[in-house]
Structure 1
Amino acid sequence: MSTSDKNGAMQTPPVVSQQEWEAAREQLLVKEKAHTRARDALAAERRRMPWMAVEKDYAFDGPTGKVDLTGLFDGRRQLIVYRAFFEPGVFGWPEHACRGCSMVADQVAHVSHLNARDTTLVFVSRAPQAAIADLKARMGWQIPWFTITDSFDADFGVGEWHGTNVFFRDGDRVFRTYFLNNRGDEQMGGTWNYLDITPLGRQEVWEDSPEGYPQTPTYKWWNWHDSYIDDAPPDRKWVEVSDAGEAAFRKRSAEGNA
Structure 2
Amino acid sequence: MSDQIPHQHVVSRKEWTAAREVLLAKEKELTQAHDRLAAERRRQPWEKVEKDYVFFTPSGKSGLAGLFAGRRQLIVYHHMLKPADPNPCSGCGMVGDQIPHLAHLHARDTSLVFVSRAPLHEIEAFQARMGWQMPWVETTDDFGADFDVPKYFGVNVFIRDGSDIFRTYFTKGRGVETLGTAWTLLDLTPLGRQETWEDAPAGTPQKPAHEGLRLHDEYGTSDPSAELGQ
| Structure 1 gaps, min length 5 | 1-5, 231-258
> Counterpart of 1:36?
31
> Counterpart of 1:55?
50
Q: Say yes or no: does 1:115 pair with 2:78.
A: no
Q: Distance in 1 between matches of 2:119 and 2:95?
A: 20
> Counterpart of 2:13?
18
Residue 84 of structure 2 contacts residue 118 of structure 2 at CA under 8 Å; is this kept in 1? no
Report the CA distance between 1:10 and its aligned residue. Answer: 4.8
Q: Distance in 1 between matches of 2:12 and 2:91?
A: 41
Report the CA distance between 1:9 and its aligned residue. Answer: 6.0
Report the CA distance between 1:90 and its aligned residue. Answer: 4.0
Report the CA distance between 1:189 and its aligned residue. Answer: 1.6
Q: Give SS of 2:123's match.
A: helix
> Counterpart of 1:184?
175
Q: Distance in 2 between matches of 1:181 and 1:14?
A: 38
Deviation larger for 125-134 or 35-44: 125-134
Residue 76 of structure 2 contacts residue 115 of structure 2 at CA under 8 Å; is this kept in 1? yes
Q: Deviations over 1:203-245 (max 9, x none)?
A: 0000000111100111111011111037xxxxxxxxxxxxxxx
Q: Distance in 1 between matches of 2:6 and 2:140?
A: 52
Backbone CA RMSD of aligned residues: 1.4
Q: Distance in 2 between matches of 1:48 and 1:16?
A: 46
Q: 2:192 aligns with which of 192, 201, 218?
A: 201
Q: Give SS of 1:204's match.
A: coil
Structure of higher CA gyration radius: 1
Residue 91 of structure 1 contacts residue 98 of structure 1 at CA under 8 Å; is this kept in 2? no
Identity rate, percent: 56
Q: 1:217 aligns with which of 183, 197, 208?
A: 208
| Structure 2 gaps, min length 5 | 222-230
The one-letter amino acid paired with 1:73 is F
Q: Distance in 2 between matches of 1:205 and 1:211?
A: 11
1:8–1:133 Cα change, 3 Å: closer
Correspondences of 1:52-201 after superposition (within 5 Å): 52-88=47-83, 90-92=85-87, 97-201=88-192
The one-letter amino acid paired with 1:98 is C
> Counterpart of 1:248?
none
Instruction: Give every structure 1 segment of 4 or more consecutive aligned residues whose post-TM-superposition deviation is greater than 3 Å.
Output: 7-11
> Counterpart of 1:247?
none
Residue 83 of structure 2 contacts residue 119 of structure 2 at CA under 8 Å; is this kept in 1? no
Residue 82 of structure 1 contacts residue 162 of structure 1 at CA under 8 Å; is this kept in 2? yes
Report the CA distance between 1:91 and its aligned residue. Answer: 4.6
Q: Deviations over 1:85-111 (max 9, x none)?
A: 11136452xxxx311111100000001
Residue 90 of structure 1 contacts residue 98 of structure 1 at CA under 8 Å; is this kept in 2? no
Q: Give SS of 1:217's match.
A: coil
The one-letter amino acid paired with 1:167 is F
Q: Give SS of 1:146's match.
A: strand
